[in-house]
Structure 1
Amino acid sequence: MTDKLRGIEQRYGEIEARLAANETYEDPDLVSRLNKEQRELEPLVTAYRSWCKAGEDLRGAEELLSDPDFKDLAQEEMAKAREELERLEQLIRELLLPRDPNDDKNVIVEIRAGVGGEESALFAHSLTRMYTMYAEKRGWKVEVNSVSETELGGVKDISLTISGDGAYSRLKFESGVHRVQRVPETESGGRVHTSTATVAVLPEMEQVDVQLNPADVEMQVYRASGAGGQHVNKTSSAVRLIHKPTGTVVECQQERSQFQNREKAMRILASMLYDQEQQRISEEYGDQRRSQVGSGMRNERIRTYNFPQGRLTEHRIGLTIYKLDAVMDGDLDEIIDGLITADRAQRLKQGEG
């Protein structure tokens, strides 16, 4: 492992030297690539350098042990250095884990009402608001690709594109069935109802990332409409794409022009086809793959939102928190950080096994 870390530090030094050279800036694409690689290597190089220093501190403290006047201090410093070495070794093992190649991508988030009629559609609307507010807190951009609403303001289904640094790395664990327990606004007797909504998070793919034959795609155009069938525009700018081999259907209706809607719909279709292939591979892994935090199985109940008790339970990692209002306002970091930590621990365990 030490040889590998030395090699990474050497590469980091080479990047620093190239970025310091004036001629490098004649090629903007090269500068962008070097900056990106430097950002990716920096946490590991910093941890490795701190680990080397902790090793030097330990050796220095060991040398003081033979001096009776400094024996107590030396033992104290040795204990500190060993603790720091252990912490940094754990961090380095985590940083050396293979990165998900999609972590830097933007995401397509699809939210669909599930069991529970109108109440599930209202919950899907609440989830849409939650993710939108979370994205805004992190400085990400949110665009609606298509939406089907109910008369009472619920969402039957919605497709969003969320763009920003690390969007997929943070949101990829949100795929699955979200369950809500609350008293619906339409419930006169005050009874708590249980409803569900399904969330799917896909990395946004370009057409070049997926083998997509244009001859396999049928395009239909129609007029975009809002809730209750009211037309939002009078031209047939909305686009529906049908991938004939798989029957996958994608709609995009939010852009002003048919061309823009088609471009966006093709990216969404590429993302869905990529995701279908990943799901097929996941199922081949069987139970081992599904036991992981990030399995993204669509039928897996991952989280319960209990409004009467203000309680959220994240079933995959056994996390329960009592600040549901804050979560629904986009305060998701505690949950997402817990899921990322659990996923790393699972991958480390598998690597050691």
Structure 2
Amino acid sequence: MINQLEAIKERFDEVAQQIMMPEIVSDQKKFMKLSKEYKDLDKIVRQYRLYKKLLQDIDGAKDLLANEKDEDLRELAKAELDELVPQREPLEEALKEMLIPRDPNDSKNVILEIRAGTGGDEASIFAGDMFRMYQRFCDRMGWRMSLMDYTEGSSGGFKEIICQVEGEDVYGKLKFESGVHRVQRVPATESQGRIHTSAASVAVLPEAEEVDVEINMNDVRKDTFCSSGAGGQSVNTTYSAVRLTHIPTGLVVQCQDERSQLKNFDKALTVLRSRLYEIELQKHNDAISSQRKSMVGTGDRSDKIRTYNYPQSRVTDHRIGLTIYNLPAVMDGNIDEFIEQLRIAENAEKLKEGAVA
């Protein structure tokens, strides 16, 4: 572990010098990439410095205890050891976790897609509840959520809603939300008071950049149409909405949230690029999962990952067996505990695989 940490410190010092070079500062892409690497490495190096100082202090106290004749000084050394030694293991565990190779997509923004599944109107209403849950979570995280496209349900909620989420480490936190979310409750449309089971599927796509996916625009057909959503008279009477069809794959993406056709085109292209990137990412994940099946799932949209039981005020994540008996708080965006426990489970798997020596 020490060798890995020393190598990281050397790279940190190297990056610190590079981002000061005029030729790097003038190249925006290189500067942003190195600045991000500097920020990521800085967290590890700071922790490593604390760890090194702790080891030095422990060795100093042990040396004093072994060689000092003065009893008062020996007592001070013993007291210092009693205070320092218990700090060593937690620091080592924190460093081991930091050394686990990160998913390179963790720092990316995301395209969040929520779709009503089985359950008719109630599924659309639940999809709307899910959207509000994520909206509140994003607000608490200080992330920016912007709407891209939606189709409203006939009794409320959404048949489908797509939005962009921007911020720090968005994919790293939201990636565990991909899959089927199941709800058990008495629907507002149910007159007999019977509990129904409905579902909504969530897809969290890392937002792909131009360097990740190159799209040949000759393979893309662009159609424009009048928006059907809210936004005033001009939205509904001008051809501002954009639909893009990627001919080789048959993928269809549309955006109608903006009044400007150009802005809708840019947003639709972002979604298309991210969906194409997800296809390649899924191929990569399938290759890995053929060797091992992750406890926290592969992010497959068909995996039933969580159940929201309203009569019992219970939310259960089936991947890690975690149940929280405070459904109102969860639906108000307090999903931090699920995300944290899923992250811990994923890191534990990586450690078992020997990711950190």
TM over 0.5: yes
Write the letter of the residue equivalent to 2:275. M
1:123 equivalent to 2:126? Answer yes
Tell me which residue corresponds to 2:50.
50
Q: Distance in 2 between matches of 1:79 and 1:347?
A: 32
Deviation at 1:121? 0.6
Equivalent-residue separation in structure 1 for 2:18 and 2:274 (angstroms):
35
Give a deviation string over 1:206-246, Cα, whole Å, max 9, x none. Answer: 3442132212212221111139xx99510121111111221
The answer for the alignment partner of 1:220 in structure 2 is 223
Query: Following superposition of structure 1 onto structure 2, how do residues 249-268 of structure 1 map, counting pairs within 5 Å?
Result: 249-268=252-271
User: How far apart in 2 are the matches of 1:52 and 1:199?
Assistant: 44
Does 2:4 correspond to 1:4?
yes
What secondary structure does 2:190 align onto?
coil
Equivalent residue, structure 1, for 2:40:
40
Residues 215 and 33 of structure 1: CA distance in aligned 2, closer, same or farther (over 3 Å): closer
Deviations 1:187-209 (A, max 9, x none): 12211111110000001113442
- Per mean C-alpha deviation after superposition, the further-off stretch among 72-81 and 247-256 is 72-81
In structure 2, do the counterparts of structure 1 residues 193 and 238 end up closer, same or farther at CA, with 3 Å as the change threshold?
Answer: same
Match of 2:204 in 1: 201
1:114-170 C-alpha deviation (Å, 9 max, x unpaired): 111111110000001111111111121111111011222121111111111211111
Instruction: Tell me the amino acid that sits aligned with residue 168 of structure 2.
Output: D
1:345 maps to 348
Deviation (angstroms), 1:63:
2.1
| Correspondence list, 1:1-353, <5 A | 1-13=1-13, 27=26, 29=28, 32-66=32-66, 69=71, 74=77, 77-78=80-81, 80-226=83-229, 232-286=235-289, 288-293=291-296, 295-351=298-354
When residues 300 and 9 of structure 1 are mapped into structure 2, their CA distance, relative to the original with a 3 A threshold, is same
Distance 1:218 1:14 in 2: 46
Which shifted more, 240-249 or 59-68? 59-68
Structure 2 distance, partners of 1:80, 1:34, is 38
Is the partner of 1:295 in helix, strand or coil?
coil
Contact 1:109 1:162 in 2 (8 A): yes
- Identify if the C-alpha distance between structure 1 residues 294 and 34 changes in structure 2 by more than 3 Å, giving closer, same or farther: same
* 1:18 shift after superposition: 7.0
> CA 1:90–1:145 in 2, change beyond 3 Å: closer, same or farther?
same
Contact 2:229-2:257 at 8 Å conserved across structures: no
1-structure distance, mates of 2:47, 2:209: 34
What runs of 5+ residues in structure 1 fail to find an aligned partner? Answer: none
Q: Distance between the aligned counterparts of 1:342 and 1:71, measured in 2?
A: 43
Give the structure-2-normalised TM-score.
Answer: 0.89
Contact kept, 8 Å, 2:235 with 2:259, in 1: the verdict is no
* Residues 14 and 246 of structure 1: CA distance in aligned 2, closer, same or farther (over 3 Å): closer
The answer (yes or no) to whether the contact 2:101–2:355 under 8 Å persists in 1 is no
Once residues 277 and 119 of structure 2 are traced to their aligned partners in structure 1, the CA distance between those partners, rounded to angstroms, is 30
On the 8 A contact 2:121/2:154 being kept in 1, the answer is no
Task: Give the TM-score of the pair, scaled to structure 1.
Answer: 0.90
Provide the secondary structure at the position in 2 that maps to 1:209: coil
User: 1:12-71 CA distances to partner (integer Å, 9 max, x unpaired)?
Assistant: 34555677x797997484765554333211221111111112211221232244458366
Q: Deviations for 1:299-352, whole angstroms, at most 9, x for unmatched residues?
A: 111111111111111111111111211111111212111111111111111125
User: Are the equivalent residues in 2 in contact too, given 1:305–1:313 (CA < 8 A)?
Assistant: yes
How many residue pairs get aligned? The number is: 350
CA distance change for structure 1 residues 80 and 288 in 2, over 3 Å: closer, same or farther? farther
Q: How many angstroms apart in 1 are the aligned matches of 2:23 and 2:87?
A: 38
Root mean square deviation of aligned Cα: 2.7
Aligned residues with identical type, % of pairs: 47
The answer to whether the 8 A contact 1:111-1:124 is kept is yes
Are the counterparts in 1 of residues 110 and 171 from structure 2 also a CA contact under 8 Å? yes
Amino acid at match of 1:325: P
**Structure 2: how far apart are the matches of 1:290 and 1:130?**
29
Q: 1:287 to 1:33 in 2, by over 3 A?
A: closer
Alignment gaps of 5+ in structure 2: none
